[in-house]
Structure 1
Amino acid sequence: MSADLPTRDELRKGLTVEIEQENGDRLVGEIGAVLTDERTHPDGILVKLKSGVRGRVKRIGPEV
């Protein structure tokens, strides 16, 4: 599944992404900070949205 997930190189501050939180909830928001240092991660790159919520990126978009 990690082959379908965006890499760190594809992510930047302000980009709209769909994340999955630790509890399994999915949210859409703008990236405030990319927290994972590695280029890839099997569960998705960890980000903090501008709203303060943290989660792993599952896909880029949709635009809001």
Structure 2
Amino acid sequence: MLVAVITSAPYHVLDTDEDRLSWWRQHDQRLRVARGEGWYGYGTTQIVMWRADILADVDPAG
């Protein structure tokens, strides 16, 4: 199975979360990250991570 996109919409994005996202990007140059407003509201933030070698660009849900 090939996975191209992973998304989540946490209520809070902590420094440790940012560190983990940075770690993944440093260890795999194909990975990209985008952020947007969470799709179910309540102050959530959508975080999308994808492989750029499979999908050129991914936009968070609008």
- TM (norm. structure 1) is 0.24
Q: Which has the larger radius of gyration?
A: 2
Task: Report the structure, 1 or 2, having the larger strand content.
Answer: 1
- TM (norm. structure 2) is 0.25
Task: Report the structure, 1 or 2, having the larger helix content.
Answer: 2
